A = this chain, B = another copy of it.
């Protein structure tokens, strides 16, 4: 079988990379990404959506693959100027990147939804799968720290370099999943949770009212963003012990998503610890993608794994006689 419609839950860098692989394997109409907007911030008076931007730039092939965020060949002349004036220069916005935030902010002021604006930006960048912000209203991921009180996510991550110890992650705001998100989930035959930080990239999506129940009964395959006890990028490895009280590992990821998961894709060598764990099927493979070829390879493996799970599930649903091959 192949899936008529896959919904992919994504944060930034890692999530965007595998999504890019998926977009090269699936037809545009067979793939919708639901992207975290909990990291969004208003900076320099502009609305910045780091995860949406990373997704759009990665899918369009314009992104800076090495840095993981922003555009390739970017310049930072506006930022240099702001720094010279003594303005806020802790959050790096490139000159071409600014265009995205300028256009987005203009359209938001005109009353367009973030969903509609994101679709326009995607079209202009030549992205042909569907990219959906998880919600149109602001929902702010906040980090409750041990020493510095509660910080907005980017303030904690970038301004404070993820140094203040995390006590809790909170989502502020009264956001709803958009009709487009709910419709995409309704049509989904498979949900893939990208190798994103569960606490700050995926949980904001899952925290939206009605989101978890929209997933109910669908096969959900997640990718572990922990590889050999470390996060490929970002502060996840330090967050897990503090938030889950256990070491950073694929087990912690499996435990975090719990009964939501049908399958978990983990790095080679990380599967052993999951052996004998009930309810979740595990695929061990090379999850660190590198370039586009690696992304496509991993996307294919994830989809093949999900097809296997779906086939097994279908077999399990058939009456016992039929599973033995007795076609009536």
Contact = CB atoms under 8 A, between A and B. Distances in A.
Interface of A: 44-46, 75, 77-82, 84-88, 95-100, 102-103, 105-106, 109, 120-121, 124
A97 B97 CA distance: 16
B44 A106 contact: yes
A85 B45 contact: no
B109 A85 contact: no
A102 B85 CA distance: 10
15 contacts: A44-B106, A45-B106, A75-B77, A75-B95, A77-B99, A78-B78, A78-B95, A78-B96, A78-B102, A79-B99, A81-B96, A81-B99, A84-B124, A85-B100, A86-B120
Given A45-B109, A78-B78, 12 more contacts: A45-B102, A75-B77, A77-B77, A77-B95, A77-B99, A78-B96, A79-B99, A81-B100, A85-B120, A85-B124, A86-B124, A95-B95
Number of this chain's copies in the assembly equals 2
Of listed A102, A105, A106, residue having the most chain B CB within 10 A:
A102
A75 B96 CA distance: 11
Given A75-B77, A77-B95, A77-B96, A44 B82 contact: no
A103 B88 CA distance: 8
Contacts of A95: 75, 77-78, 81, 95, 98
A136 to B, nearest CB: 19
A20 B81 CA distance: 22
Nearest to A74: B77
B45 A105 contact: yes
A259 B300 CA distance: 83
Contacts of A100: 81, 85
Contacts of A86: 103, 120, 124
Nearest to A79: B99
A120 B99 CA distance: 26
Given A77-B75, A109-B45, A85 B98 contact: no
B106 A88 contact: yes
Contacts of A98: 78, 81, 95, 98
A99 B75 contact: no
Contacts of A79: 99
A84 B102 contact: no
Given A45-B46, A95-B75, A95-B78, A102 B124 contact: no
A122 to B, nearest CB: 11
A106 B93 CA distance: 15
Contacts of A81: 95-100, 102-103
A85 B99 contact: yes
B87 A99 contact: yes
A80 B106 contact: no
A120 B121 CA distance: 36
B120 A103 contact: no
Contacts of A77: 75, 77, 95-96, 99
A96 B80 contact: yes
A77 B84 CA distance: 19
Contacts of A102: 44-45, 78, 81-82, 87
